[in-house]
Structure 1
């Protein structure tokens, strides 16, 4: 399977919206109660899709279609999602490679991410460490950080 990572464009918004929605409903639903998923699907897909050109956003393309997204908003990793049908194939890893490369190019010293329970093991494997845990309503949140090699804050 050939994976192409490129900068996101406004034309990718509809596909990104669908990816985030599918990931929330299928993947994240395994770790969160329905009340949290119901709240997230109301706003998160639109937020991610509408910020593709504001953030340093990337998409993953497989067989000509957008299957994943990941972004850098300042020093914050934001919205790394892969369509459930394409998960566990290295796509999120490739997206994060692009995000971390962009952070290096922008001299971002410490990256932060507000991780879901679902994504915590993925970020930990990439060297992110837990800074704090908390709750947003009934949604557990995990703030993690990672120093970008060769850069300082």
Structure 2
């Protein structure tokens, strides 16, 4: 049974580990090893992650003491992070997390939610009612990536 709650400081290390696993074990279907290493390097600045998670609502999905996924929402309706553990793909974790975000966005009176979706995440967001606004080529740590700016009106 998945339990969703807001981020706590002690969650940071588990989130970083899940992020790295998700990128390297799930996104590997769409991106090459150099891109994956640039996106989720072995060494991640923990303080930057902590600062990011404390700056906005961030929800975590737990299966007992195992982190299954996480998501966040910025005040302007930008959904920046959505990652699900490779062990929990296709089990409704992303959908449950997304519902928390949409509920919060409606409470915030956001008119829309937008995201830069990876090739791996694009189908999920499409199923949630998002539409592609722009196909983008972005750069991170010297590597270029294709992603999609997607939006959903509320």
Please give the TM-score of this superposition, normalised by the length of structure 2.
0.89
Aligned twin of 2:133: 131
Tell me which residue corresponds to 1:151. Answer: none
Q: Answer yes or no: is 1:111 the counterpart of 2:113.
A: yes
Deviation of 1:145 after TM superposition, in Å, equals 0.2
Indicate the SS of the match to 2:59.
strand
TM-superposed deviation, 1:108: 0.8
Q: Which residue of 1 aligns with 2:149?
A: 143
CA RMSD of aligned residues (A): 1.6
**2:25 aligned with 1:56, yes or no?**
no
SS of match in other structure, 2:54: coil
1:115-153 CA-partner distances (Å, limit 9, x unpaired): 0000000000000000000101420010000011xxxxx
Whether the 8 Å contact between 1:13 and 1:50 is mirrored in structure 2 is no
CA deviation string 1:33-57 (max 9, x = no partner): 1121110113778555542211210
How far 1:65 moved relative to its partner?
2.3
Q: Which moved more, 1:40-49 or 1:127-136?
A: 40-49
**How far apart, in 2, do the equivalents of 1:91 and 1:108 lie?**
23
Question: Which residue number corresponds to residue 9 of structure 2?
Answer: 10
Normalising by structure 1, what TM-score? 0.90
Question: Residues 122 and 49 (structure 1 numbering): CA distance in 2 closer, same or farther, change over 3 Å?
Answer: farther
What CA deviation, in whole Å up to 9, does each residue of 1:8-62 have, x standing for no partner?
1111101100110000000001101112111011377855554221121000010
Residue in 2 that maps onto 1:68 = 69
Aligned residue number for residue 95 of structure 1: 97
Equivalenced residue count is: 147
List runs of 5+ in structure 1 lacking aligned partners. Answer: 149-153
SS in 1 for 2:94: helix
Secondary structure at the counterpart of residue 78 of structure 1:
coil
Q: 1:20 to 1:89 in 2, by over 3 A?
A: same
Paired with 1:143 and 1:23, the residues of 2 have a C-alpha distance of 20
